[in-house]
Each structure stands twice: as structure tokens, then as C-alpha cells.
Amino acid sequence: MKAWKAAAALGVAAALCVGTPAVLAAGDDPAAGGGQEPPADPPPADPPPDEPPPDEPPPDEPGVDEAVAAEEARKKEEARIREVVSAFEKSMKKGDVDQQMKAITDISTTKHPLVAKALIPWIQPTVEESVRDLAIEAAKSQESQDVAAAAYSLFEKNAKNLKFARKMIGIMGRSKDAKQVAKLRGIVKKPEYDLDLQREAVIALGLIGHRDAIPDLIRMCREFENPHIPPKEVPRKNALQQSVEEALDRITGTHMPSAKAWETWWRDNEKTFQKGDGQAPK
């Protein structure tokens, strides 16, 4: 009986061995009856090709001093203007009236202090009238302080020549030069000046557009609104009132219906209007 149990146990063990695959140790040959070899690790991937370095910007050009370049350009332009002025002066000195007027027309397209100064001799009262009048218009377009100063000097010397004096005041107004405001206010205030000249001076104040003219103009508005204005002042009122109102509108960029309204506006705006700006508005 014991022999039979031992034989049965051996048979079961043999059956189990046949149904279970053997595990190969590392290095066992699969052809010798063991299991399959595990897959080998894949070969390492080739490294990516080196990227070319980015293009480097070209080296900076040698630095150019902008101030030096600007100065060089200014000198070239001034040299060109001097040639223009020289040609103008030759034409004016040697040419007839037609040639002179052509020379003035040609140079008037150039705005420069040298051109402005070159025109001053040709706005004198002794110059032939058609040439002078054209030179005066050219001088106005220069908006030059030098021309304005020369015009005031000529005005003072020729105030009795009303036609010429008015044109000199016109040059002062077109100059936009704040330095002319006090001179023009003086013309308006002095009773010895003709009313046409005073009106021209008021218009010039409006063209310059500076705050210093405002108090005088408001005061004149108040005088002209006086229902009891002296009879001797009526011609002045008739000559100047409209120009005074237009000058105030132009300088301030606003409109008020009365002297009282202007006085209120000035009280509200005197401390700030055009403050910090030494020049008249354009």
C-alpha cells in the first residue's frame, strides 16, 4: 500500500513538471529547450544635427553725431541762402523796375533771417512805389523781428505819410513779434496819431495775439459803451470800436457781448491765459 502511494505522488509531480515551462536563467540558450529571450534594448537614437547658430546682426556702422550732422546741414543751407541773397542784391542794384520786381518775387519764396534783412532797404519811402509795395508784402511774409523793428523806426520818422505809415504798422503786426506790442499800444493811446493809424495798430495787436494787449482793449470797450461819451470822443469810437472787438475775439479765441462780460472773463483768466509762453500764439 505504501508503495502504491509513493508511485502516485511521483506521477503527479511528473505531470506538474510537464505542464509548467521552465524559467531560463540569464544567459540560457533558448534553442536548448528554455523560454524566449527578453527583447534587447533599442539602440540609442542618433543625436539631432547641430542647429546652425543664428545670423548675427552686422556690426553697427560708426556712430554719427546727430548734432554735428545738423550743424553741417545748417551751414550748407546758410551758404545757399547767402548765394540767393547775393544774387538778389545784384539784381536790385543793377536791374530796372521789372527786374527788381522779379527779384523780389523770386526771393519772397524763401523765408530766412538773411532774406528778411536783405528786404529792409527796399521798404524805405524813397524806393519806387511799385517796388517798395512788393518788398513790403515780401517783408510781411518773413515774420521777422528785424523787419518789424525797422518798420517801427520808419513809422516814427514818417508818421505824417499816412499811407506809408499804415504799411509799416502792418509789417509790425504780421511779424508776430511780442516785442512790438508795447509800441503798438503806444500808437493807440497817443491822440496825436491819426485815427487810421490807431485802427491799424489795433488790428496789428490782434494779429500778434499777445495777452499784454487785452487790458487796453477791454478798457476801450468800456469807454465806447459809455452812453455819455464826450462828443469829441465819438469819432474815435466810430473809427476803432469794431476793430477793438475783433482784436479781442482774435487774441482770446472767444467772444463776449459787453465790456462788463470781458472784465469778468479777464478776472477769471488773467492768471492763466498764455502764462508760461513768452510768445504770442500762432
Q: For residue range 12-49, what is the model confidence (pLDDT) as tens digits?
A: 444 444 444 444 444 444 444 445 566 666 666 666 66
Please, are residues 92 and 103 in contact by the beta-carbon 8 Å criterion? yes
Task: Report how far residue 166's alpha carbon sits from residue 172's, in angstroms, rounded to the nearest whole number.
Answer: 10
Question: Cell 493811446 identifies what position?
Answer: 189
Between residues 156 and 62, the one the model is more confident about: 156
pLDDT tens profile 97-124: 999 999 999 999 999 999 999 999 999 9
- CA 205 from centroid of its chain's CA atoms: 25
Query: Residue 275 CB: number of other CB atoms within 10 A?
Result: 10
pLDDT tens profile 137-182: 999 999 999 999 999 999 999 999 999 999 999 999 999 999 999 9
pLDDT recorded at residue 57: 63
Cβ burial, residue 251 (10 Å; 0-12/13-18/19+): buried
Q: What's the one-letter identity of residue 91?
A: S
Q: What's the one-letter identity of residue 254?
A: T
Question: Cell 505531470 identifies what position?
Answer: 15
Task: Report how far residue 174's alpha carbon sits from residue 137's, in angstroms, rounded to the nearest whole number.
Answer: 10
Question: Cell 527796399 identifies what position?
Answer: 122
Task: Report how far residue 141's alpha carbon sits from residue 104's, in angstroms, rounded to the nearest whole number.
Answer: 12
pTM, to two decimals: 0.73
Task: Report how far residue 122's alpha carbon sits from residue 217's, in angstroms, rounded to the nearest whole number.
Answer: 33
Model confidence band, residue 52 (pLDDT cutoffs 50, 70, 90)? low
Please, are residues 116 and 81 in contact by the beta-carbon 8 Å criterion? no
pLDDT recorded at residue 94: 93
Average pLDDT of the chain, as a whole number: 85
Measured over the CA atoms of residue 78, residue 79, residue 84 and residue 90, the dihedral's sign is positive
Query: Which grid cell is 23?
Result: 524559467
The pLDDT of 209-233, averaged and rounded, is 96
Please, are residues 215 and 266 in contact by the beta-carbon 8 Å criterion? yes
The pLDDT of 62-77, averaged and rounded, is 84
pLDDT recorded at residue 65: 83
Q: What are phi and psi of 52, to 5 degrees?
A: -70, 145
The pLDDT of 248-261, averaged and rounded, is 97
Cβ burial, residue 77 (10 Å; 0-12/13-18/19+): exposed
CB within 8 A of 145, min separation 6: which ones? 175, 177, 179
